[in-house]
Amino acid sequence: LSTRPDIVGNELAEQLKYLQDKLPPFPVETAKAMIEAELGAPVETLFSSFSDPVAAASIAQVHRARLADTDEEVAVKVLRPGIERAFRKDIDAFYLAARWIERLAPFSRRLRPVDVIAHFEGVVAGELDLRLESSAAAEFAANTEKDEGFQVPKPVWSLSSRNVMTLGWAEGIGLNDRAAIDAAGHDRQVLGARVLQLFLNHALRDGFFHGDMHQG
């Protein structure tokens, strides 16, 4: 990375966008095998169509599919194979580093490095259980059902588990694609105001809001 703050900021932003949904995907056959193991039936039985990965992030990837019984279009999110083992390895290294920091730099103890890692461990462990994400999506959808201009895809509980989450497909334009937004005839200022107003409504009215509001 460059030492110029503006360049560092831009490079970091590009790396974070890469981690968001553009990492190399794992094979679709691996995803299908994981789904079958989790849900107890072959993908071909559960879905009438099942695409190659449409997005791949740091801990999971997403496939576009249609339900076999209703033909509803859905998104199927599958955790990366081995991600929990990789996380455990990393978190153990973080704990070791935090303990050594506390031992070698006593002044750092007021910052409680080990406690910070313990909190981080709990947060990420929750991210690795897609049942919690499905539950959050269902609660968010219920809270915002009457919010005009806002819709949350609902989970399909019968096709969701610890390592697989199925929910309604949402078609749209990323807020970072300004040319496409303008071409579709949307007013970006109106959209920006709506995003801010809805976020404040959810935070202040419901006390439950989307905490990862990236432009996707």
Distances (CA, A) of 101 to 91, 97, 184: 15, 6, 53
Quote the tokens at residue 98. 């935090």
Catalytic residues: 212
Quote the tokens at residue 81. 């194979």
Provide DSSP, the chain.
Answer: --SSHHHHHHHHHHHHHHHHHBSPPPPHHHHHHHHHHHHSS-HHHHEEEEEEEEEE-SSEEEEEEEETTT--EEEEEEEPTTHHHHHHHHHHHHHHHHHHHHHH-GGGGGG-HHHHHHHHHHHHHHHT-HHHHHHHHHHHHHHTTT-TT---PPB-GGG--SSEEEEE------TT-HHHHHHTT--HHHHHHHHHHHHHHIIIIIS---S-----
